[in-house]
Amino acid sequence: MAAKPQVRNAPDAGSAPDDREKHPVDETLPPIKMLTSGLQHVAAMYAGVVAPPLIVGAAVGLSGTELTFLTGASLFTAGLATFLQTLGVWKIGARLPFVNGVTFAGVAPMLAIIDTTKDKADALPVIFGAIIVAGLLGFIAAPWFSRLVRFFPPVVTGSVITLIGVSLLPVAFGWAQGPNPAADDYGSTTYLSLAGITLVVVLLLRRFTRGFLKQVAVLVGLVIGTLIAIPFGVTDFSPVTEADIVGFPTPFHFGAPQFALAAIISMCVVMLVSMTESTADMLALGEIVDRPADEKTIAAGLRADTLGSALSPLFNGFMCSAFAQNIGLVAMTRIRSRFVVAAGGGFLVLMGLSPVAASLISVVPRPVLGGAGVVLFGSVAASGIQTLVKAGLEKDNNVLIVAVSLAVGIIPITKPEFYHAFPETAKIILDSGISTGCVAAVLLNIVFNHLGRRRDDDEVTAPMEPGEEISETRTAKAAHVH
């Protein structure tokens, strides 16, 4: 049957003709729906934005007030980066419904930088200096990087994303044990019970609720866990009472940026990982909203990510990247307007300008954060595994890439002193499993899948049970291959 030609109806009287021709991505919604949908995007990613500054701030030893300031700065800079990505300026911004915020990929390398910095007061300036350089280099490289996507197939990105989640899980476990590792009650049944209750609440909400409540399950879990913790005397409300209603992230509040070569190299690797993730996210979101991301769109989106990251330290923020969980929200709600996400960016900016709002997360006890962190960080690892499912693991080459890159990346987690004999500058990079795992995955992918003749027929045979003898079929196949 021949397809009927599509006839565009004449616009009704009083309506704007160009509104009918707009792509759903460029549509503006009624104010109430715009604001509520934007707030939902903020709720879906709020825990992900505040987690990195909490981790880094605690490692540096910041006070509750300073931790509140750092959290507010991350919210503020996430809003600015979201504006860049959704609204766009010149050739900057993918102009897709992207929410940008602090990337998890930078947490482990930043912790490594803190551990190797003698004076903890210099740790944040060193981190900020490294992010500025990495962001500027990434901005320059964005057009060329958009052409190198073939070197970052699912086997590479999946390995890296999995390592991000696995590397952060120990942080959640540490939170679950309590706020002070030196205290006598560290790891007590009280703390672990609070973490377990919070985890169960989040799981129940995800299992038995729907729509908006399901999307904000982590946030609701944090609230319920905090309320349950009050009778145990582990909830501190002083950050809220001491915070101002209105404030502004003072530029370079923690000191002028410092530029250390090893830290810069480490954050450049993180930038590479972040750009890889953002590229994958843009490709996925483009399909969801029916506006496929071409090379030009990817380059513009990467410029927004990298410029947002370079400007973020000015206001005491960290490296920014696209948030994958919000892509899932777009797919679920089918609300494709980029202006909805821009409204979410506005909420982030306003929260960053209100220390009281930013301080609310500081009230949440560490064990409660630990329980929610298991879901949050575990979900990152699960996302990596989902990506690896698409990586063609029926090929021996890809199995080897995943196996070795994961092994290299897990070394700093399982054996923290493994690189103790190396110089301190080298340890900043080596102690980050994400950085070393990413480098290993990229290099192995080039060696096995790009150099020379690809052996696509090298398929993995069914795994043997313990004690199973090698069959004649296996032997014959191996002889044929080799």
What pLDDT, on the 0 to 100 scale, is given for residue 313?
94
Backbone angles phi, psi at 102, to 5 degrees: -65, 125
Burial (CB count within 10 angstroms: exposed 0-12, middle 13-18, buried 19+), residue 410: middle
What pLDDT, on the 0 to 100 scale, is given for residue 23?
86
Residue type, 189: T
Owner of token pair 């809220």? 240
Phi-psi region of 93 (alpha: psi -120 to 50; beta: other; left: phi over 0): left
Residue-wise over 329-354: b if at least 16 C-beta within 10 A, else e? Answer: bbeeeebbbbbbbbbbbbbbbebbbb
Q: What share of the chain is helix, strand, coil (3-state, %, to 5)?
A: 70, 0, 30
> Do 326 and 98 touch, CB atoms closer than 8 A?
yes
| The two three-digit tokens of residue 479, written as one number | 């002889």
Residues of the chain with pLDDT under 70: 1-20, 43-44, 47, 149, 212, 215-216, 324-325, 328-329, 331-333, 358, 361-362, 424-425, 428, 452-482
> Do 285 and 327 touch, CB atoms closer than 8 A?
yes
pTM of the model: 0.67
Q: Spell out the residues 6+ positions from residue 55 whose beta carbon is closer than 8 angstroms to its own.
A: 107, 111, 168, 171
What pLDDT, on the 0 to 100 scale, is given for residue 325?
62
Phi-psi region of 182 (alpha: psi -120 to 50; beta: other; left: phi over 0): alpha
CA gap 359, 352 in Å, rounded? 10
Cα dist from 467 to 248, 464, 470, 475, 479, whole Å: 66, 8, 9, 16, 22
Q: Spell out the residues 6+ positions from residue 449 whose beta carbon is closer than 8 angstroms to its own.
A: 153, 155, 397, 398, 401
CA gap 382, 388 in Å, rounded? 10
